[in-house]
Amino acid sequence: MAYPQLKPATYQDLCNIPEHFVAEIINGSLYAQPRPAPRHARASSSLGDELVSPFDKGRNGPGGWWILDEPEVHLWTDIVVPDIAGWRRERMPSLPETAYFELAPDWVCEVLSPGTARQDRALKMPLYARHGVQHIWLVDPLLRTLEVFENTAAGWLLLQVLENDNAVSLPPFEAISFSLAALWAD
């Protein structure tokens, strides 16, 4: 939900939102959503579980990434909180000392819900593209789908749509494979 305002939202406006909401500033407008519903949280947590060991910790995978849940990312005047984000360690050798990141991630995942899907697609995807995010995954736990996009000179290129229990082995994490079914709450 966007809050109407006469002036661009500030970081203080974001901090004034109650803690049980996720707040973001996109194109000067303040957006706040309640914490994710269980299916959303399950999909996000399960995807993180599949990626952290091989890519963040280097267990049975190549390592070389920082993979984090709900990081606060400051992209100039915009402040976003992707469900999951990843940075290649060659671009960000250590985590910042601040409570937020000023370097755009290399990869983001947004878990779609009826209340956030439009914002994730229409507002956040163009913002991520402008700031050089190379890959975005959109997970829909209700439809049980994963859409994988790559940022190209022409804009976001849809690489593949997976569903149900398809095997996932797609950029930038094609070094491993896991079943998409691991994300769904049954």
Contacts of 163 (CB under 8 A, 6+ apart): 143, 144, 145, 146, 180
| Residue 131 located in a structural domain | yes
Instruction: Please give the average per-residue pLDDT across 134-144, as a whole number.
Output: 97
Instruction: State yes or no: pLDDT of 35 exceeds 90.
Output: no
Higher-pLDDT residue of 1, 56 = 56
Question: What is the per-residue pLDDT across 148-162, written as a single tens digit (0 to 9) for each?
Answer: 999 999 999 999 999
| Residue 136 located in a structural domain | yes
Instruction: Please give the average per-residue pLDDT across 66-73, as a whole number.
Output: 97
What confidence score (pLDDT) does residue 4 get?
Answer: 58
Name the pTM for this structure: 0.93
Number of domains in the chain: 1
What confidence score (pLDDT) does residue 1 get?
Answer: 57
| Residue 79 located in a structural domain | yes
Inter-residue contact 160 to 134 (CB < 8 Å): no
| Residue 26 located in a structural domain | no
CATH number for the domain spanning 43: value is: 3.90.1570.10
